[in-house]
Structure 1
Amino acid sequence: MVKPLSSWPWENLGIFKYVIYGPLVAKVVYSWIYEDSLKDVWCLHILVICALRGLIHQLWSSYSNMLFLTRNRRIKQQGVDFKQIDREWDWDNFIILQALLASLVCLMFPSMVDLLPVWNPRGFMTLLLLHVTISEPLFYWTHRLFHQSYLFTHYHSLHHSSSVLHPFTGGHATFLEQLVLSIVMGVPVMGSIVMGNASSSMIFGYVLGFDFMRCMGHSNVEVVPAQVFNNFPLLRYFIYTPTYHSLHHSEVGTNLCLFMPLFDAMWNTLNCNSWHLHNQITTYSGKEGRVPDFVFLAHVVDVMSAMHVPFVVRSFASKPFCTRIFLLPLWPFTFVVMLMMWRWSKTFLLSFYNLRGHLHQTWVVPRYGFQYFLPFAAQGINKLIEEAILRADSMGVKVISLAALNKNEALNGGGTLFVNKHPGLKVRVVHGNTLTAAVIVNEIPKHVTQVFLTGATSKLGRAIALYLCRRRIRVLMLTSSTERFQKIQKEASRDTRNYLVQVTKYHAAQNCKTWIVGKWITPREQYWAPAGTHFHQFVVPPILAFRRDCTYGELAAMRLPHDVEGLGNCEYTMERGVVHACHAGGVIHQLQGWTHHEVGAIDVERIDLVWEAALKHGFRPVSNLK
Structure 2
Amino acid sequence: MCQRPRIQEPEKVTLPVVPTVDKKAVAPTHSRERNTDYDLLFFLAPALMWWATPVFPIFATGIARVICTHLVLSLHYIFVDKDNYFNKISQKQLKREKDDYLVGTILHMWAQVGLQIVFPSMFFCEQSHIKTAAFHAFICHVLIVEPLYYTVHRWLHLIPQMKKMHGFHHLSINTLPSTSLVQNFHEHFVYIATFGPAFFVPWLFTFKMHWTIVGGYLVLFDAVNAWGHTNVRLRHPIWNHKYSPMRYLFYTPEFHLGHHAYFSANYGLFMPLWDHLLGTYRPYLKPDVKLAPPNKQDFVFIGHNGGLGHLLTCPEFSVYNVYEKYRRSFLPLEAEFLLMHILCLFAKLFIKSYRCSRFLVNNEKVARIICTVRSPWDFASPKSYAAMNREIVELIKDQYKSCGTQNFGLGNLNKMKQLNDGGAVIAEMVANDAYLKDKNIKVWTGDTMTSASVYNQILDIPDLTEFFYIGANGKIGTAVITKLLKSKPDLKIKIFSRYHGFQHPNVSYTDDLSEIKKYKVAVLGKILSPRYYDKAFAGSEPCETRFLLDYTVPFIPITAAKRRSENIQHIQIAVLQTHANNNFLRGSFDVCMAHDQNCIYPCHFGCIMNMVEGRQTNETGEVDPNDMDRLWNKAISYGFHNKIIGYSTPSC
Normalising by structure 2, we get a TM-score of 0.73
Aligned counterparts of 1:95 and 1:524: Cα–Cα separation in 2? 42
Q: Which residue of 1 aligns with 2:452?
A: 438
Aligned counterparts of 2:270 and 2:128: Cα–Cα separation in 1? 27
Is 1:460 paired with 2:464?
Answer: no
Measured against aligned partners, the alpha-carbon deviations of 1:154-177 in whole angstroms (never above 9, x if no partner) come to 654432321322132001123565
Q: Which residue of 2 aligns with 1:607?
A: 628
Q: Which residue of 2 aligns with 1:403?
A: 411
Q: Which residue of 2 aligns with 1:55?
A: 67
State whether residues 461 and 518 of structure 1, in contact with CA within 8 Å, keep that contact through their aligned partners in structure 2. Answer: yes
Measured against aligned partners, the alpha-carbon deviations of 1:413-436 in whole angstroms (never above 9, x if no partner) come to 433445452566677643121122
Q: Which residue of 2 aligns with 1:308?
A: 313
State whether residues 248 and 272 of structure 2, in contact with CA within 8 Å, keep that contact through their aligned partners in structure 1. Answer: yes
State whether residues 440 and 536 of structure 1, in contact with CA within 8 Å, keep that contact through their aligned partners in structure 2. Answer: no
- Aligned partner of 1:59: which letter? L
Equivalence map 1:64-463=2 (5 Å) = 64-65=76-77, 67=78, 69-71=79-81, 77-88=86-97, 89-110=99-120, 113=123, 115=125, 117=127, 119-144=129-154, 146=156, 155-175=165-185, 177-196=187-206, 197-220=208-231, 238-252=249-263, 255-263=266-274, 288-289=293-294, 291=296, 295-324=300-329, 337-351=343-357, 361-389=368-396, 395=403, 400-419=408-427, 421=431, 422=436, 429-442=443-456, 443=458, 445=461, 455-463=471-479
Aligned counterparts of 1:175 and 1:451: Cα–Cα separation in 2? 50
2:227 is paired with a residue of what secondary structure? helix
Q: Which residue of 2 aligns with 1:36?
A: none
Measured against aligned partners, the alpha-carbon deviations of 1:522-571 in whole angstroms (never above 9, x if no partner) come to 45995899953566555566795657579575554224112267669765
Q: Which residue of 2 aligns with 1:585?
A: 606
Match of 2:577 among 552, 560, 574: 560
Q: Which residue of 2 aligns with 1:493?
A: none
How many Å apart are 1:604 and its aligned residue? 0.9
2:575 is paired with a residue of what secondary structure? strand
State whether residues 165 and 187 of structure 2, in contact with CA within 8 Å, keep that contact through their aligned partners in structure 1. Answer: yes
State whether residues 83 and 358 of structure 2, in contact with CA within 8 Å, keep that contact through their aligned partners in structure 1. Answer: no
State whether residues 532 and 551 of structure 1, in contact with CA within 8 Å, keep that contact through their aligned partners in structure 2. Answer: no
Of stretches 86-95 and 505-514 in structure 1, the one that deviates more from structure 2 is 505-514
Aligned counterparts of 1:21 and 1:597: Cα–Cα separation in 2? 54
Of stretches 191-200 and 449-458 in structure 1, the one that deviates more from structure 2 is 449-458
Residue 464 and residue 530 in structure 1: after superposition, are their counterparts in 2 closer, same or farther (change >3 A)?
farther
Aligned counterparts of 1:11 and 1:585: Cα–Cα separation in 2? 36
Identity of aligned residues (%): 21
- Aligned partner of 1:159: which letter? H
How many Å apart are 1:605 and its aligned residue? 0.7
State whether residues 576 and 602 of structure 2, in contact with CA within 8 Å, keep that contact through their aligned partners in structure 1. Answer: no
State whether residues 340 and 375 of structure 2, in contact with CA within 8 Å, keep that contact through their aligned partners in structure 1. Answer: no
How many Å apart are 1:300 and its aligned residue? 0.8
How many Å apart are 1:295 and its aligned residue? 4.8
1:339 is paired with a residue of what secondary structure? helix
Q: Which residue of 1 aligns with 2:53?
A: 40
State whether residues 135 and 187 of structure 1, in contact with CA within 8 Å, keep that contact through their aligned partners in structure 2. Answer: yes
How many Å apart are 1:194 and its aligned residue? 1.7
How many Å apart are 1:200 and its aligned residue? 2.7
1:40 is paired with a residue of what secondary structure? coil
State whether residues 119 and 200 of structure 1, in contact with CA within 8 Å, keep that contact through their aligned partners in structure 2. Answer: no
Aligned counterparts of 2:64 and 2:148: Cα–Cα separation in 1? 26
Aligned counterparts of 1:168 and 1:92: Cα–Cα separation in 2? 9
Of stretches 378-387 and 127-136 in structure 1, the one that deviates more from structure 2 is 378-387
Aligned counterparts of 2:473 and 2:263: Cα–Cα separation in 1? 61
2:196 is paired with a residue of what secondary structure? helix
State whether residues 82 and 568 of structure 1, in contact with CA within 8 Å, keep that contact through their aligned partners in structure 2. Answer: no
1:598 is paired with a residue of what secondary structure? coil
State whether residues 125 and 209 of structure 2, in contact with CA within 8 Å, keep that contact through their aligned partners in structure 1. Answer: no
Normalising by structure 1, we get a TM-score of 0.75
Aligned counterparts of 1:142 and 1:621: Cα–Cα separation in 2? 47
Q: Which residue of 1 aligns with 2:7?
A: none
Aligned counterparts of 1:336 and 1:170: Cα–Cα separation in 2? 36
Structure with the larger RCO, 1 or 2 (CA within 8 Å, 6+ apart): 2
1:364 is paired with a residue of what secondary structure? strand
Of stretches 457-466 and 513-522 in structure 1, the one that deviates more from structure 2 is 513-522
State whether residues 436 and 556 of structure 1, in contact with CA within 8 Å, keep that contact through their aligned partners in structure 2. Answer: no
Aligned counterparts of 1:526 and 1:112: Cα–Cα separation in 2? 63
Residue 619 and residue 541 in structure 1: after superposition, are their counterparts in 2 closer, same or farther (change >3 A)?
closer
Report the structure, 1 or 2, having the larger helix content. Answer: 1
Aligned counterparts of 1:271 and 1:2: Cα–Cα separation in 2? 23
How many Å apart are 1:78 and its aligned residue? 1.4
- Aligned partner of 2:136: which letter? T
| C-alpha RMSD of the superposition | 5.0
Is 1:598 paired with 2:619?
Answer: yes
2:303 is paired with a residue of what secondary structure? strand
- Aligned partner of 2:308: which letter? V
Of stretches 333-342 and 427-436 in structure 1, the one that deviates more from structure 2 is 333-342
State whether residues 79 and 568 of structure 1, in contact with CA within 8 Å, keep that contact through their aligned partners in structure 2. Answer: no
How many Å apart are 1:260 and its aligned residue? 3.3
Q: Which residue of 2 aligns with 1:27?
A: 49
2:620 is paired with a residue of what secondary structure? coil
How many Å apart are 1:133 and its aligned residue? 2.2
2:225 is paired with a residue of what secondary structure? helix
Residue 568 and residue 112 in structure 1: after superposition, are their counterparts in 2 closer, same or farther (change >3 A)?
farther
How many Å apart are 1:111 and its aligned residue? 5.3
How many Å apart are 1:53 and its aligned residue? 1.9
State whether residues 94 and 171 of structure 1, in contact with CA within 8 Å, keep that contact through their aligned partners in structure 2. Answer: yes
Tell me the matched-pair count: 592
Q: Which residue of 2 aligns with 1:492?
A: none
Residue 129 and residue 293 in structure 1: after superposition, are their counterparts in 2 closer, same or farther (change >3 A)?
same
How many Å apart are 1:211 and its aligned residue? 1.3
2:409 is paired with a residue of what secondary structure? strand
Of stretches 551-560 and 367-376 in structure 1, the one that deviates more from structure 2 is 551-560
